[in-house]
Amino acid sequence: MSAVENYLAEHYDEVLEDLKAFCRIPSVSTDPAFHKGIRDAAEFVANRLKKAGFASVELLDTGGHPAVYGEVISDPGLPTILVYGHYDVQPPDPLDKWMTPPFEPSIRDDRLYARGVSDDKGPLLIPILVVEAYLKNEGRLPVNLKILIEGEEESGSEHFEVTLERNRGRLGCDLVVSADGAMWRPDRPSMTVASRGMVALDVTVTGASKDLHSGRHGGSAPNPIRALTKLLASLHDAEARVAVPGFMDGAKLLDPAILTAIDAANFDAGAYYRDIGSPKPDPMENGSQLLVRQWLEPTLEFNGIFGGYQGPGTKTVIPSSASVKITCRLVAGQKPAKVIEAITRHLETNLVSGYSLQIEPHGPGSEAFSVDPNLPGLLAAEAVLAELLGSKPLRVAMGATIPIGTAFRKHLGAEAIFFSFSTSDEDYHAPNEFFRLSNFRTGLVAWARLLGRLASHPKLKRNNVT
Amino acid sequence: MSAVENYLAEHYDEVLEDLKAFCRIPSVSTDPAFHKGIRDAAEFVANRLKKAGFASVELLDTGGHPAVYGEVISDPGLPTILVYGHYDVQPPDPLDKWMTPPFEPSIRDDRLYARGVSDDKGPLLIPILVVEAYLKNEGRLPVNLKILIEGEEESGSEHFEVTLERNRGRLGCDLVVSADGAMWRPDRPSMTVASRGMVALDVTVTGASKDLHSGRHGGSAPNPIRALTKLLASLHDAEARVAVPGFMDGAKLLDPAILTAIDAANFDAGAYYRDIGSPKPDPMENGSQLLVRQWLEPTLEFNGIFGGYQGPGTKTVIPSSASVKITCRLVAGQKPAKVIEAITRHLETNLVSGYSLQIEPHGPGSEAFSVDPNLPGLLAAEAVLAELLGSKPLRVAMGATIPIGTAFRKHLGAEAIFFSFSTSDEDYHAPNEFFRLSNFRTGLVAWARLLGRLASHPKLKRNNVT
């Protein structure tokens, strides 16, 4: 065991107290009532960075909640790593479902329970503690390390891209290592190497200019709910796959290692339907087929639908309009603008006559993210996990969208890997969020070894930054 | 001109004041804030009946707002007519759209403007005034006449059937003549001889037992909006006609005179779409085809749809369930229970696997109503209108449902005709409701003549009452 790892083990009780203190700060970013918690958490991170030995520590003004920045520049010749995390947390509601209060950290069965402990306070504290251990024991780091901890991840990272853009000089790096993210399952190490992109749009079908009486006008007047449901029914085939011409244009298969992971996962389809509390479809696809759908196929999901009367009993009305909210998850190669265009064309073509159609995209959307299968940083991280945990980590994809991956690529020209020690079952958006302390300890060692391995990471040609 | 008609003409200014006084009473039945208006209006009707010479005038306890009853029994050998109307009115909102206040009657261009003046205070006052004229001038009526004026028509006539049932002995009659209803158009006399029945049901499709994240679960999890829209899309064919097997069972063509009326109506399809503010479909059906749909065909209309997120922006959720509210209008011969059964079977058969379905009918529904084309009362009323207005009235149907027709048939064994002098364009559920005073004057003469003609109406065998 190296001196650094030794130091981390010896100071474990101390750093656990640091983590608890961090978790006592109610840094809920979505709710203005927690304004003080946000400021306190940002200050906590800044102070902890200073204590660890970081230089240039400051709160960056983002236009929203501040981001915390710090750096340890050892030697301009070494590769530069930018560590990412976020100090803000999800709201703790519903409070009555918590076994112990969300901002009073409590240990049970080697798990620390608190809002935000797994997402992302525990994981982000790890690299800070590792830097401290290096500086105390070796007086320097094996790499140059910058750290950027934002305060708006749980509320949509509204000011994140502009912050990257404004600070691109200072943030320049050869690799981003995110302390946010999650292992897929508790029983097997994994690296997230892909996530789906997204586009969002609202669709409204309008018939008459006002609501009509369904007795007097029923049969002759346009019913926009009827037109909308016919339209929506045309968007998927019988296997619930998107049936919009042009939707798949450019889509390509991701890293084949993901298919290996899917096969290795033995995902249990029956258990999946039990978990979500849904009747099993008949015929039922097997677990691998379901995972392919979640990870590797694009979707078009209806998130909400509304029109007309929704109250109790009956109202004999034909509404003027009906609307649906749609989000699509995109896979590598699909262009958000082309997807919106294909859906728009399909809707316009398939709308029955006698109605008008309004389509409103929410923003430009985001492309899918995927890590180059041969990225040196990815290989280094995998080697660390294999060495520490005894088996090569699975390469997994995420159905959900990770906007930071593409943001770092766009603004800094740097690739990102996800090296988090939280696990996706740790209830991080629900009551009784917890963090496995065994993973906290493993994470400390793993980050120490990763920094060592990254010493030989190739440096980017800075003019690659676009 | 008979003495009765002469009397009515001479006392016109007086009875117009009566109508204004009636209209000053804010008898809104849906809103408890108008409780006093309801009591005052019931008292007003009772007092006006007494003044006109009715006997046995009383307020019937219905369990809700009282109904007013009175009778003039001339001779047990004469046929007995039961007159129906309602003293309650629609709410006056939105108040700022009224040119003069809704409960301050105001005459402009020979029209009386006030909430409830056309529906149904003006039309119901006519037979009362006519009875008075008969009694003052001839000392007796040509028929026995009973009158029942309810106070809950605008709020669903919740206690009407039970009131008929409780008072069936007292209400026994050979014909019901409703002073409620409306001429179809101002330029041509008409008799409403049919209206559609109704069933109402809510349908909910459920997937998972809780809302899911559409990124993580999108593609693999059931989306009940997708399943519901597929299901709803199966309910109509490409011409927007109901495509549910068994739905039409028993449906039959109504009085062919209605087809004659439809052809005579020269209904302007282009104007219809302009009026309702809807794009014209292409191809567009002609006016007669549209009227056939409104009057003679059953419908299945979606009155409301809802599920998932409805707020601004995007929420990446797959909802647990999605629902639709449906009402069907039925034509003669369709049985409400069979219709609900057919829809239920169709929905169950067409639901894709992996979802559960909940179908909740609202009440037993009501059958379509239609008048026997050879009903003596109908022929008498048509003869009066033809004589007074110079052309044979059109026989028209109503898309909306008139529950009283079937209620009188069920509880009293009596057929009903609609002999109202309001017109369907008089904004009776909207601001600036008005009543054409020319029709008020015509109505007085028409009712006087109708009572004369009904003297020879056949008497029902009372044991027909079931």
* Domain spanning A197-251+298-361, CATH class: alpha beta
Instruction: Name A59's Cβ contacts closer than 8 Å, sequence gap at least 6.
Output: A42, A43, A46, A66, A67, A68, A69
What is the crossing angle of helices A122-138 and A12-23, to 10°? 140
Is the distance from CB of A171 to CB of A325 less than 8 angstroms?
Answer: no
Phi-psi region of B14 (alpha: psi -120 to 50; beta: other; left: phi over 0): alpha
> Which DSSP letter does residue B121 get?
I
Contact A399 B240 (CB under 8 A): no
Taking the Cβ of residue A277 and every Cβ of chain B, the question of whether any pair is shorter than 8 Å is answered with: yes
Residue of B nearest to A360 (CA): B313
| pLDDT, tens only, B311-320 | 888 888 999 9
Q: Is the pLDDT of residue B31 over 90?
A: no
Q: Is the pLDDT of residue A133 over 90?
A: yes
Beta bridge partners of A90: none
B306: nearest Cα among A321, A278, A308: A308
Instruction: Name B306's Cβ contacts closer than 8 Å, sequence gap at least 6.
Output: A305, A306, A307, A310, B322, B323, B324
Instruction: Give the best residue of B204, B314, B320, B362 to mutate against chain A (max A CB count within 10 A).
Output: B314
Contact B233 A230 (CB under 8 A): yes
Distances (CA, A) of A260 to A266, A338, A395: 11, 30, 8
ipTM of predicted assembly, 2 dp: 0.85
| pLDDT, tens only, B337-386 | 999 999 999 999 999 999 999 999 998 888 999 899 999 999 999 999 99
Domain B198-251+298-361 is of which CATH architecture?
2-Layer Sandwich (3.30)
Contact B219 A354 (CB under 8 A): no
Band (B466; pLDDT cuts 50, 70, 90) = very low
Which residue in this structure is represented by tokens 């749980």? A154
Which residues in chain A have their CB less than 8 angstroms from residue B207's CB? 278
Taking the Cβ of residue B316 and every Cβ of chain A, the question of whether any pair is shorter than 8 Å is answered with: yes
- Distance of alpha carbon B209 from alpha carbon A424, whole angstroms: 20
Is the distance from CB of B234 to CB of B366 less than 8 angstroms?
Answer: no
Give me the pLDDT at residue B255, please. Answer: 66
Three-state SS at A445: helix
Contact B220 A293 (CB under 8 A): yes
| pLDDT, tens only, B96-130 | 889 999 999 999 999 999 999 999 999 999 999 99
Q: How many CB atoms lie within 10 A of CB B166?
A: 16
- Rounded to the nearest angstrom, the minimum Cα separation between B302 and chain A is 6
- Rounded to the nearest angstrom, the minimum Cα separation between B13 and chain A is 35
Q: Is the pLDDT of residue A466 over 60?
A: no
Q: Is the pLDDT of residue A254 over 70?
A: no
The identity of residue B349, as a single letter, is T
Give me the pLDDT at residue A110, please. Answer: 97
The two structure tokens encoding residue A262:
């899917």
- Rounded to the nearest angstrom, the minimum Cα separation between B427 and chain A is 13
Give CATH for domain A3-181+402-464: 3.40.630.10
The reported pTM is 0.85
Q: What is the CA radius of gyration of chain A?
A: 25
The two structure tokens encoding residue B139:
């000392």
Annotated domain spans of chain B? 3-181+402-464, 198-251+298-361
DSSP B139-182: SS-SSEEEEEEES-GGGT-TTHHHHHHHTHHHH--SEEEES-S-
Band (A255; pLDDT cuts 50, 70, 90) = low
Taking the Cβ of residue A357 and every Cβ of chain B, the question of whether any pair is shorter than 8 Å is answered with: no
Q: Given 3-state DSSP classes, what are the helix, strand and coil percentages for chain A, each rounded to the nearest 5?
A: 40, 20, 40
| pLDDT, tens only, B246-286 | 999 999 876 678 888 888 888 999 999 999 999 999 999 99
- Distance of alpha carbon B214 from alpha carbon B308, whole angstroms: 11
